[in-house]
Structure formats: C-alpha cells, structure tokens
Amino acid sequence: MKKLTHLLIDGYNVIHACQPFQSVLKKNLDAACKLLIEHIVPLHSNEKLRTTIVFDGKGLDIQIEHPTNDPSFSVLFTPSGTTADTLIEQLVFNSQHKNPFIVVSADNALIQTVSSMGAHALTPSDFKDWLERSNKAQSSKILDHQKKSAEQWKQANPWKNLK
C-alpha cells in the first residue's frame, strides 16, 4: 500500500502570515480559522493527502474535529499549555518513517526540528502558492467536465423528441 503523505499545518502561523486570512483575522479569529479550513479542503481532496491543521488551544485535552467528516482531514486544538509546534513535533516524531510529512510553518525552530526528523517543510507563502495551483487545477477539471457533459448532452439529448 502506498504511504499517504501527511500534511501538517501550523494553523495560526499560516493565518498570521498569509492573505486573505490576515484580513479576516483582524475582524474575527474563528472566521479566519474557518476560511483557512475552506481553502485547504480542495487541496486535501485533489492531492489525496492526510491533512491535519493544528491550532494552539485551551482546555485540558486535545480537541479533534473532522470538519469534512473525512477522518483523513483533522483539525486539532492543543491542550492549554501545549503549543501547536510541540504537538506537530510529537506527531512527526511518533510517526517517523511511517508516512512522509510536509509541515507548513514560518517558525524556524519548528522547521529545523521536523526537518531533522525527515519531514519536508514549506513556508506559508509557498503553501499559499500550492493552494492556488491546486484550486486552479480543480477549476480546470470542472470546466473540462462541464464541456464534455455539454457536448454529450447535445449528442444524446433525451428531451429532443418530446412534444
């Protein structure tokens, strides 16, 4: 079985580093988090990635959500006193050599740590570019499908003989 690449995203780090999340963040943190998730869902689907967004949290335990009801797409909130960086490091360390990892963060200490464990690192800017490319590719596939469907409809329109 092919190993599934695990995309780990330092959520607040990316929100603070990239537009349009920064603009929304100025008004509402929860809305910025939701927007980030919305932007990542197509990438998760198109690239067939296991995806985890990690946010600094609160409370006693890790909170895990699956906003798309797909278990391979998770949003984690750390317990109080634990940073997203720490949890990302633990995830990479505990799964070392089981799956390839891509970690998205602008935090140099985190990047150095996970890179030393074999993970690939992306800056938020490079990640944003990847998101845009993925969205364009998805849009192109949808347009191609619509064109083919329209052409097939013209050729086999079941309504054309109805009176």
pLDDT tens-digit series, residues 77-98:
999 999 999 999 999 998 866 6
Mean pLDDT of the residues in the chain: 88
Q: Does pLDDT of 163 surpass 90?
A: no
Q: Does pLDDT of 161 surpass 90?
A: no
Peptide bond preceding 158: is omega within 30 degrees of 0, i.e. cis?
A: no
Backbone torsions φ then ψ of 62, nearest 5 degrees: -65, 135
What pLDDT is recorded for position 139? 76
Q: Is the pTM of this model over 0.75?
A: yes
What pLDDT is recorded for position 96? 61
Peptide bond preceding 67: is omega within 30 degrees of 0, i.e. cis?
A: no
What pLDDT is recorded for position 56? 93
Task: Indicate the class that CATH gives domain 6-156.
Answer: alpha beta
Work out the average pLDDT over 20-34.
Answer: 90
Spatial separation of the C-alpha atoms in residues 129 and 115, rounded to whole Å: 21
What pLDDT is recorded for position 1? 45
The more confident residue out of 158 and 120 is 120
Tell me the HSE value of 137 on the side-chain side, using a 13 A CA sphere. Answer: 12
What pLDDT is recorded for position 110? 95
The more confident residue out of 91 and 47 is 91
Terminal-residue alpha carbon distance, the chain:
54
Contact present, 37 and 67 (Cβ < 8 Å): yes
Q: Is the dihedral of CA 149, 155, 156, 158 positive or negative?
A: positive
Work out the average pLDDT over 41-63.
Answer: 90
